Amino acid sequence: MKKITLLTISILITFLVQAQLFNIGGLGIGYLYVGPKLGGNASFNSTNVGTGVDKTANYGFQAGAVGKFGITKKLAIQPEFVYTSKGYAYNSTTLTNNYKTTGNYKYFGFPIIAKYAFAAISGVQIYGSGGFYTDVLTGVESKTKYDDGAEYTEDYHNISEYFTRVDFGFNIGTGANIPLKNRDVLNIDLRVGIGVTNVEKGNTNSSSRNTSIQLSAIYLFDLTKWVHFKGKSILEEDAYDENGEGPAGGRKIEQ
């Protein structure tokens, strides 16, 4: 797992730092941004937990790094490397006691997202997004807490025996790019992750797919301020032309 993580980080850094912008008719197209991502998510699992049980959201967090490559003014591709906590939660009522159970799945994820900007409002760019993710499971923890104060925790050490190591799924969402005066961008991102993998191996009675609602903030540093690329910025500091169109949070480059 450590080797996969280090390899992925190395590939992402190499792509961000060494990638060259391309030219069409002498005009360079593209921009490169990189930055941290931090947010929270509410997740659910499709497992059938039986009658007399109320499913609720499992609240977790996500943190990581993203890179962003702009193809045109409106279209961008964003690879990410993110730690995220997903899972399930449910409340159960019995004749003698009530209890709440939460299950936490700990993942390192590799989403790849396409973003298309369709509007600009007062300099803020609004976009729609879609893509896919591949999550690698690194830990599972289950907690049960009773109304009488008793609490039980179980850590699954032999993960591969009970759970699927890799969770694959799709993302769809929307968000806003807020340009800053220093040419960096603050990105507010809202998306829904829909898993297609049954994450619990022993569950033969129903599916066990993850679904999550994710809200995050991403600070995007403009790499053209520090890394030398061929060409120079030809856009104004507000990054929008007279028609209100912006480069999806970046700059266009000219030879």
Question: Is pLDDT at 236 greater than 90 in this prediction?
Answer: no
Q: Which of 122, 73, 129 is nearest to 245 (CA)?
A: 73
Local confidence band at 56 (pLDDT 50, 70, 90 cut-offs): confident
CA proximity to 27, closest of 176, 238, 235, 242: 235
Mean pLDDT of the chain: 79
Q: What is the mean pLDDT of residues 53-60?
A: 86
| Interval 230-235 mean pLDDT | 40
What band does 230 get if pLDDT is binned at 50, 70 and 90? very low
What pLDDT, on the 0 to 100 scale, is given for residue 101?
84
| Cα atoms in the Cβ-side hemisphere of radius 13 Å centred on 168 | 1
Q: In whole angstroms, what separates CA 107 from the centre of its chain?
A: 11
Smallest Cα–Cα separation from 213: which of 172, 165, 166?
172
Q: Give 85's pLDDT tier (boundaries 50, 70, 90).
A: very high
Which range of 52-66, 136-150, 167-181 scores highest in mean pLDDT? It is 167-181
pLDDT number for residue 205: 65
Q: In this structure, what DSSP letter does residue 159 have?
A: H
Q: How many residues in total does the chain contain?
A: 255
Q: How far apart are CA 61 and CA 78, in angstroms?
A: 20
- pLDDT band, very low/low/confident/very high, at 95 (cuts 50, 70, 90): low
Q: Tokens for 169?
A: 């799924």
What band does 46 get if pLDDT is binned at 50, 70 and 90? confident
Q: What is the pLDDT of residue 29?
A: 55
Distances (CA, A) of 13 to 16, 26, 109, 196: 5, 27, 16, 29
Question: Which domains are assigned to the chain?
Answer: 2-254 (2.40.160.20)
Residue entry with tokens 């967090």: 61
**Residues whose CB is less than 8 angstroms from the CB of residue 126 and which lie 6 or more positions away in sequence, other chains included:** 117, 118, 119, 120, 174, 175, 176
Supply the pLDDT for residue 20. 42
Confidence of residue 111 (pLDDT cuts 50, 70, 90): very high
**Could you tell me if 224 and 237 are in contact, meaning their C-beta atoms sit under 8 angstroms apart?**
no
Task: Band the pLDDT of 237: cuts 50, 70, 90.
Answer: very low
Listed residue (38, 79, 35) closest to 217, CA to CA: 38
Helix-strand-coil split of the chain, %, nearest 5: 10, 60, 30
- Structure confidence by residue, pLDDT tens digits, 181-217: 888 999 999 999 999 999 888 766 668 899 999 999 9
pLDDT digits (tens, 9 = 90+) for 120-171: 998 899 999 999 999 999 999 888 888 777 888 888 878 888 889 999 999 9
Average pLDDT over residues 81-95: 84
With CA atoms as reference, report the closest residue to 205 among 45, 49, 43.
49
Contact by Cβ (8 Å): 161, 129:
no
DSSP 8-state class, residue 200:
B
